[in-house]
Structure 1
């Protein structure tokens, strides 16, 4: 059975996914899991021919920092290693530029404040 934290995380990812689709991105894969880490959402930005690896973060309140602040350098390294693994397994994206975005959701998930940071960190 899912934990409450996992249910909230899934809800936050669904909101982020819908938001990114509204911004013109196309879903490739969700919850890509490797031994080194997970990538929440992998999308294609067709306008720029960019493969986008998206980390979704949620915080109900920002007393201890924003949702996007929680993507530490060690978390970034795990995402980068997972992205490298993904690219090794999917040569159809060999010609694409890759980008790492973070989508932070804050407040109540019914009416979240969404902060999309394109190119949030380097791979």
Structure 2
């Protein structure tokens, strides 16, 4: 049975969320949508607010998930994160980072890349 793209995306994001929760992160938000883009997961790691981009690739022939996050995508994620912080001022003074969870293959194997890029890289 072939799984459609939206269903696969939701399944992979749920697996990434479960993986990060098991590693000790705490949920803040899921699929936070803003005009520039969507934040797949927003979590807390200690006192650090973590914006997580989840990327699925059937195979890594053309590079892994992190390689698919180009400058344009990073800028959109940073703008979305800035809007999130503006709308949730209680988090605005916390340290922040951008992580990526790569999922590859069938069934997906997860790889968590902490601090995958920085806001000032954009």
TM-score norm. by structure 1 comes to: 0.91
Say which SS state the counterpart of residue 24 (structure 1) adopts: coil
Q: Which residue of 1 aligns with 2:112?
A: 116
What is the CA deviation profile of residues 75-122 of structure 1, one whole-angstrom value per residue up to 9, with x for unaligned ones? 11000000000000101112210000000011113xx22111111111
TM-aligned CA deviation for residue 67 of structure 1: 1.7
What is the CA deviation profile of residues 10-42 of structure 1, one whole-angstrom value per residue up to 9, with x for unaligned ones? 111000000000100001000000111000000
Give the length in aligned residue pairs.
117
Deviant stretches of 4+, over 3 Å: none
Q: Unpaired segments of 5 or more residues in structure 2? A: none
TM-aligned CA deviation for residue 64 of structure 1: 1.3
Say which SS state the counterpart of residue 64 (structure 2) adopts: coil
Q: Which residue of 2 aligns with 1:37?
A: 37
Q: Unpaired segments of 5 or more residues in structure 1? A: none
